[in-house]
Amino acid sequence: MKKGTIFQLNKGSKRLFSGVLCLVCTLLILGLASSVAISKNLDPQKKAMIDDYYNKAWAYLGQMHKDVNNLDKAQKLYLKALEIAPAYATTYWKLSEVSFKKAQETKDSEAAKKLFQQALNYAQTAIQNNSKSVEALYWLGTCQAKLAEMAGIFKAMGLVKQAKKNLKQSIDLESNNRFAILSRVILAVIYAESPWPLRDLSEAQRLSDEAIKLDPNLTLASVKRAKILYKNIGKKQAIKELNRCLTINKPTYLWDAELYDWPEAKKFLAEIK
């Protein structure tokens, strides 16, 4: 649960605060209702076209480890879906995902930063159209965490706090959603790699343990958990988790495992042995 600040309000302030709170709640409800209405009221033929674009784009994403140009192909399909329904939140968080992955594959740091910012903008638009989107909150929090990392934690403390808030909200909304599981991993990394006073290795381990329990085949969770175990418990447990990571036969996201997680696990294993 979030910790609040305790303060006193006079009667006028209480009425103002209550009014603002009611307005915020109303806007959140209207945002969610608007997104649901768009989905339900969309012409069946157009909805079928969007779903077809989604399925084809997902197939391209699943092959990005073989050819990163598949990211561009997926992006084009999502942009076509956006033309059909410009206020459809799902398309925006999917565009955020593609932009983020394109940034990961971009060697030039300034160009990568622009793509991460683009991914963040797409996620923000998704939230504007559906404030209760677990997926959008995950990508928003992840983009904020990445941009904070690039800027330096102390220079971007506000972004880190926003990232934590959005990632926690995605977990609270739908705890077993695959993006809520991923949110636990990113939160764990924030707690493990941030300097004091943000660092909390116990919380980092708790979150990574939860992620592994919910999805044992999530290689991202496994390699990050190994690094947390190394800091929090010791080398023996870290090596055990790294070996488990490298022997996962059916990773949840094969492309991420091959491009990022397994190479990271091999490198870290070599460093600590």
Distances (CA, A) of 4 to 7, 21, 37, 207: 9, 15, 34, 22
**How much is the pTM?**
0.82
Cα(79)–Cα(71) distance, integer angstroms: 12
**Residue 179, pLDDT score:** 97
**Residue 2, pLDDT score:** 36
Burial class (CB in 10 A: 0-12, 13-18, 19+), 76: middle
Say whether 177-273 and 42-173 share the same fold.
yes
Using the structure block, give the residue that is written with the tokens 């390699």.
223
**Residue 138, pLDDT score:** 98
Chain CA centroid to CA 23, Å:
28
**Residue 23, pLDDT score:** 33
* Architecture of the 177-273 domain: Alpha Horseshoe (1.25)
Q: Which of 123, 118, 127 is nearest to 140 (CA)?
A: 123
Distances (CA, A) of 86 to 6, 42, 55, 219: 42, 11, 18, 34
* Architecture of the 42-173 domain: Alpha Horseshoe (1.25)
**Residue 39, pLDDT score:** 53
| pLDDT tens across the length of the chain (273 residues) | 333 332 333 444 334 333 433 333 333 333 333 344 345 567 888 999 999 999 999 999 999 989 999 999 999 999 999 999 998 999 999 999 999 999 999 999 999 999 999 999 999 999 999 999 999 999 999 999 999 999 886 677 889 999 999 999 999 999 999 999 999 999 999 999 988 778 999 999 999 999 999 999 999 999 999 999 999 999 999 999 999 999 999 999 999 999 999 999 999 999 998
Half-sphere exposure of 37 (CA within 13 A, CB side): 8
**Residue 40, pLDDT score:** 57
Residue ranges of the domains in the chain? 42-173, 177-273
